[in-house]
Chain A
């Protein structure tokens, strides 16, 4: 059974960097059939997919245009985890953040979600 464990601060100062990590058990960050996603949810923006990373002979990084200039999602194969780095945050980035496994290929969906972490951007 796949399990995801998310860690990181719940409070970030405006203009600073939001950093979260998602540890994977029951699957591999280098899996040929999965992609590793970050999704957030807020009352104002709803569910918003931020981006993903996955391995297909090389690492692929795919980001939403709304955050493309300030996001990095990195895999860490030594620890079997992946991370989110969102730079230059504003209060608009306040949301519940989820790390999520996605199936890709012929069948494409999000099948395992972490409980989620509320990240508040405030001074």
Chain B
């Protein structure tokens, strides 16, 4: 199974801050990496697929990068509605696996 390591597990930031979350995989997955946002009591919501493609309707302050084993999710200017938990997920091979999540909290 492909192991997913996200860091940090949590962070505190202020509105307007630039935030970067990283995801590392235990083997190369090309660009088959997706990012999801989850708010309390809700299902995860797709933000970015194929490492860097923004899902329709997602604000342009979100961006993704990387390939192989190292990936990033960047929020260029954190907004109040962005305080949530973020997960990476590999779709390269079965079993499909998720990172442990990064909780973004208000400083």
Q: When the two chains form the complex, which single residue of B34, B43, B91, B95 contacts A113, counting CB atoms closer than 8 Å?
A: B43
The answer to whether A108 and B97 have CB atoms under 8 Å apart is no
Q: Which of A107-121 contact B (CB under 8 A)?
A: 107-111, 113-116
| Residues of chain B with a CB closer than 8 A to A102's CB | 91
- Whether the pair B96, A49 counts as a contact (CB closer than 8 A) is yes
CB distance from B11 to the nearest CB of A (A): 18
Tell me whether chain B's interface is mostly helix, strand or loop, or mixed.
loop
Q: Is the CB of B87 within 8 A of A113?
A: no
Residues of A75-123 contacting chain B, CB below 8 A? 98, 100, 102, 107-111, 113-116
By the criterion CB–CB under 8 Å, are B46 and A109 in contact? yes
When distances are taken between beta carbons in the complex, the residues of chain A under 8 Å from B83 are none
Range class of the A interface residue count: 20 to 34
A27 at the interface (CB under 8 A from B): no
- The CB with the most chain A CB atoms within 10 A, among B87, B91, B96, is that of B96
A46: interface (CB < 8 Å)? yes
For the complex, is A47 an interface residue (Cβ under 8 Å from B)? yes
Q: Which residue of A lies closest to B56 (CB)?
A: A111
Q: Kindly state the separation between the CA atoms of A58 and B91 in the bound complex, as whole angstroms.
A: 22
Known A102-B91, A108-B91; further 18 A-B contacts with Cβ < 8 A: A46-B98, A47-B87, A49-B97, A64-B95, A65-B1, A65-B95, A107-B50, A108-B32, A108-B49, A109-B34, A109-B50, A109-B55, A109-B89, A110-B46, A111-B55, A113-B44, A114-B43, A116-B43
